[in-house]
Structure 1
């Protein structure tokens, strides 16, 4: 009888994956199609083991012990390992605050823990638009403030569809600068804050923004500071004031970056793992 029930459960696993009560998961991509099946299959194997061992157990205490193997806690634990989608995590802050190196190391750490992740940075200087931005930043070309702001915005819109596909495929994106940088830097030059935000409206809203802060003196001591157009201490301070106006405590976390690399990495990784574990909505929200 036990083998019949076990075989029935194995055949039933494909129906289980459709149940929103198991993992609240909707199969929409190649990666996510397999995840619920793995969870339900693991559950079925546990049930089968329980049935087989129960059939050979003579002690009621032994049966109680076996039943504990497939309690609600174990099922919930399995389900939590299947995220609804990847998390969109952005690192913001002044130039030379260590964002790029930290972003790349966060991706390595997440992948080492079995969490698919990808590094993205803005501006993306590999596109045609990004090439114009690079020429501006390295002082080879000159644009007025409105033009360069819109070029930065276009650079992010170029990446929107590809980013959304990756997120829906379960890949967490660690992004080095995003719309907030574009708005903060342009507003720091004197452009109207709301005007700067307008062309960014409709882009993907991050699940978490980590704002790295440093004092002006600490920033100026960083290697390479001053190589690009905006790397001037006074201007960087104005940028930080603009970040204060953009900050939303519901999904922003401010972190002092003036510490050892390892200590900062550990702190950032903790926040990233928490954000990934707490994705509750498959749908991505939009900016502003």
Structure 2
């Protein structure tokens, strides 16, 4: 049985009054990078100061970790090492880029964050969602997004999109079988059910333009609540 997506979250006051932190999550092939680019362009066109970033990455150290942990040429990586590498890159990302940007009043749009580790390493690798979430809460000093947009995609759909995009020559995680990606999808949906006020769950099979409009509207609603008298 397919888990039911969480309802659209109502506008809520931002966790970071001096800035806003928006994260796009979802399985491989869901269109996160496309939607991050569209959202950043829309917000900048409205005059907002926006930082676009990604995980793993966002800093020189994070980009090096990305190469190490995702490139199949580096050979197999055991689950605990994988989880720790992601957490280390995330700690640097938060301290060096995300928190300073939020403190400066900027909007940060990030392609993946801690919930990806909970889904991929916690559920997909079998390390335990709660254990991996605790590790990343420590690594980020408790930083939580104001809004997490979950682009929900079936494993087979994501695989077909990756095949069309790059011929199937994906990274180590993208190359995992559909069963692995089905597990991570269920984990994402369960995380969303636990925090419906933080999540916006969207069917990623819809058109990119339609998704972009709904995502931008949700972000504007959050920002409007914060600036309202």
What TM-score do you get using the length of structure 1 for normalisation?
A: 0.64
Instruction: Give the 3 Å change call, closer, same or farther, for CA 190–108 of structure 1 in structure 2.
Output: same
Are the aligned partners of 2:53 and 2:108 in contact in 1 as well (CA < 8 Å)?
A: yes
Deviation (angstroms), 1:129: 5.0
1:230 corresponds to 2:173 = yes
Q: Distance in 2 between matches of 1:96 and 1:106?
A: 18
Question: What stretches of structure 2 of length at least 5 have no aligned partner?
Answer: 1-15
Equivalent pairs counted in the alignment come to 198
Q: Distance in 2 between matches of 1:90 and 1:151?
A: 20
Secondary structure of 2:72's aligned partner: coil
> Counterparts of 1:200-211 in structure 2 under 5 Å?
200-201=136-137, 202-211=141-150
Are the aligned partners of 1:122 and 1:178 in contact in 2 as well (CA < 8 Å)?
A: yes
Post-superposition Cα deviations, 1:211-238, rounded to whole Å, max 9, x if no partner, equal: 0012233212212345122223221111
What TM-score do you get using the length of structure 2 for normalisation?
A: 0.80
**Larger deviation, residues 227-236 vs 123-132:** 123-132
Q: Distance in 1 between matches of 2:59 and 2:101?
A: 19
Q: Distance in 1 between matches of 2:58 and 2:149?
A: 23
What RMSD over aligned residues (CA atoms) do the two structures have, in Å?
1.9
Which is greater in Rg? Answer: 1
Secondary structure of 1:205's aligned partner: coil
> Counterparts of 1:23-38 in structure 2 under 5 Å?
none
Name the counterpart of 2:125: 189
Instruction: Give the 3 Å change call, closer, same or farther, for CA 124–160 of structure 1 in structure 2.
Output: same
Secondary structure of 1:221's aligned partner: helix
Question: What stretches of structure 1 of length at least 5 have no aligned partner?
Answer: 1-82, 281-288
Are the aligned partners of 2:61 and 2:92 in contact in 1 as well (CA < 8 Å)?
A: no
Name the structure with the higher helix share: 1
Q: Distance in 2 between matches of 1:203 and 1:157?
A: 11
> Counterparts of 1:1-288 in structure 2 under 5 Å?
84-124=17-57, 127-141=60-74, 142-161=76-95, 162-187=97-122, 188-201=124-137, 202-222=141-161, 223-224=165-166, 225=168, 227-231=170-174, 232-247=177-192, 248-279=195-226
Deviation (angstroms), 1:154: 0.9
Q: Distance in 1 between matches of 2:21 and 2:147?
A: 7
Structure with higher RCO (Cα < 8 A, 6+ apart): 2
Deviation (angstroms), 1:126: 5.4
Q: Distance in 1 between matches of 2:58 and 2:185?
A: 24
